[in-house]
Amino acid sequence: MSVNQWKRSSRFWIVCFVLWFITLNLFSHGNRFHPAGPFIFIFEIPHFDKIVHFGYFFGGSGLLSAALYLAQKPSWMRLSLIVTAILSLIGIWDEYHQSFFINRTGNDPMDWLADTLGAYFGTLVFRLLHHKIL
């Protein structure tokens, strides 16, 4: 299969989305994958975790949007609603999941809001760029 055939395969994008979800769960596991202290940087950036949540779910929405778009070609409104709803539920799961691990704080409504907004804006950007990506 050529690269162009892979890019146009909904199966490829759903596999990428499943890997995204697995990675999300690994990052939520506390000590092993998220040591205590500032995230990535030596200095603390206020609310940087919200930017990370937004960005990660923004990316996930692109993967899921591509999979659903290629599989069903739904209307843009329907695609946006479905992807945002699914990722919002995953955001709730992630927050709940984090609450069981050391060095993680779960059940943060602002993290969930960042997840949901990232998912929504990811679908909007996918709509604008899908013809260049796929």
Q: What is the pLDDT of residues 41-94, one digit of tens each?
A: 555 778 888 999 999 999 999 999 999 999 999 999 999 999 999 999 999 999
Spatial separation of the C-alpha atoms in residues 37 and 52, rounded to whole Å? 15
User: What are the residues whose beta carbons fall under 8 Å from the beta carbon of 129, sequence distance 6 or more?
Assistant: none
Q: Which two tokens stand for residue 73?
A: 């070609």
What is the model's pLDDT at position 118? 98
Residue 35 clears pLDDT 80, i.e. is over it: no
Phi, psi of 104 (to 5 degrees): -125, 140
Q: How far is CA 66 from CA 69, 88, 113, 114, in A?
A: 5, 17, 23, 21
Q: Provide the residue ranges of all domains of the chain, joining segments of one domain with +.
A: 48-134
What is the model's pLDDT at position 30? 63
What is the model's pLDDT at position 110? 95
pTM: 0.88
